[in-house]
Amino acid sequence: MPATSVIGAQWGDEGKGKIIDLIADRADVVVRFQGGANAGHTVIVDGQKSVFHLLPSGVLHPGKLNVIGNGVVVDPTVLLEEIDQFESRGLELRNRLLLSGAAHCVMPYHRTLDALKEGEKAGVKIGTTGRGIGPAYADKANRCGVRLWDLVDEERLRVRLAANVADVNRLITALYDAPPLDADALYETARAQGRRLAPMVTDTGRTLRGLLAEGKHLFFEGAQGVLLDLDHGTYPFVTSSNADSLGIAAGTGVPPTAVGHQIGVAKAYCTRVGAGPFPSELHDEVGERLRAGGGEFGATTGRPRRCGWFDVPAARYAAQLCGFSGLAITKLDVLSGMEEIGLVVGYDVDGLGRVDEYPVDTPLVERARPVIETYPGWSEDIRDVRSYDDLPSTCRSFVDEICRRVGVPWELLSVGPARESTIIRSVA
């Protein structure tokens, strides 16, 4: 059976966790393929809120296998905390969670380096989540990372850590005048973590290819979103992994042809956390209204999210890049009660006239002034609506307009944070 992917179509926090949880009952396996504990995926079931940073958002479904693929950077401290929290609720996990041995570890020095770099007076401030993501992926590319296979092999771990901590200490003392780290203490902690994680560490690429061959349905859960993608986002204001569907094959070890169905998740408006261009951003009370109404505060860092109107050219760019087959449009309920709703349909860059294409090059995106069309809103509370036909006509028109302009039909409409607050058309 062709696999399904769920990808953020904007700047992250689109509601991917809710959508994965909702449709995970149709999956046999849920797989994370990139990112790390920078992700914060919120799932609300029976009034209980769970926020997942590393665990795939399918874990609330008993009996489903969950996999953390090789493209993820795993902070063992966060992962073990998350496993403990989850199991303390009486839910079984250990026998249905597999970790790729080829996934790289986020070590305490990666967090240190992240914080020191962000704190540089002269440097570009990305507004990272502080989770050590950039430095961990940098070590991966620089071929000095510690993989989970190293973490669970005490001798390999000792050698790798000794070399890395010596390098890091030279760097942080000379460049940042920071105190050196204690390699022995880091080793002891990491060794204990490795012992706990060892039973779950395996060659998950082989496992996943085997499951595909058996006809099992795999779901790939994206973290962040297309416009935060390292290659295709607003570089350098991006995360350090391929946060679009292009990262799936490399980040899990399945062939690119495995994924047949791609769901792009987009809010009915836009948000962004951290620095970087955001053409549809609203700096007025409408932006405040979206932030308050949507509870737009980071699930990982608690930072207020910047808010703006739905950006059609940016979403169309995301859809074309990933080949979305359907959209999940979330948080429509947040727009209830607004007299008028804006849609960014194009931009004017440097006063040269309207363009309808997303300009891609970051300075151009920075200088893009949005061309906004307004649509009539609706006053009804739509949180209990469960069919498209029961939505107010202005809400239906707004959804249709987004889909027509982005060029992708909707599959799911979300009208509240809970699992059941959803309108489903069809999901393969």
Site residues (vs ligand IMO, CB under 6 A):
8, 12-13, 38-41, 126-129, 131, 133-134, 223-225, 228, 239-240, 273-274, 299
Rounded CA Rg of the chain = 22
Compare residues 7 and 344 and give the one whose CB is closer to ligand IMO: 7
Element (H, E) at 260: strand 259-267
- Cβ atoms of 212 and 3 within 8 Å: the answer is yes
In the chain, what are the helix, strand and coil shares in percent, each to the nearest 5?
Answer: 40, 20, 40
The interface region with ligand GDP, picked from 63-71, 326-334, 367-375, 401-409 by CB under 6 A, is 326-334
The candidate with the shortest Cα–Cα distance to 35, out of 249, 276, 240, is: 240
Burial letters 147-160, b for 16+ CB under 10 A, else e: bbbbbbbeeebbeb
Q: 385 to 424, contacts with ligand GDP by CB under 6 A? A: 414-417
Pick one of ligand IMO, ligand GDP, Mg ion, none as the site partner of residue 239 (Cβ within 5 to 8 A by kind): ligand IMO
Per DSSP, what are the bridge partners of residue 270? 308
According to the binding rule CB under 6 A, does residue 42 interact with ligand GDP? yes
Element (H, E) at 406: helix 393-406
Measured from each CB, the residue nearest to ligand IMO is 274
The count of residues interacting with ligand GDP (CB under 6 A) is 22
Name 347's bridge partners. 355, 370
365 phi and psi, to 5 degrees? -65, -40
13 part of the active site: yes
Q: Residue 76: phi, psi to the nearest 5? A: -60, -35
| 306-311 and 104-105 strand pairing | unpaired
Cβ distance to ligand IMO smaller for residue 101 or 417 = 417
Binding-site partner at residue 127 among ligand GDP, Mg ion, ligand IMO, none, CB < 5 to 8 Å by type: ligand IMO
Residue selected from 4, 6, 8, 278 as contacting ligand GDP according to rule CB under 6 A:
8
CA 91, chain centre distance (Å): 24
Active-site residue flag, 53: no
> Taking contact as CB under 6 A, which single stretch among the options 15-23, 85-93, 253-261, 277-285 is the one that binds ligand GDP?
15-23
Among 6, 11, 13, 413, binds Mg ion (CB under 5 A): 13
Indicate which residues carry an active-site annotation: 13, 41
Residues that bind ligand GDP (CB under 6 A): 8, 12-18, 40-42, 44, 295, 299, 330-331, 333-334, 414-417
Residues that bind Mg ion in the complex, under the rule CB under 5 A: 13, 40, 299
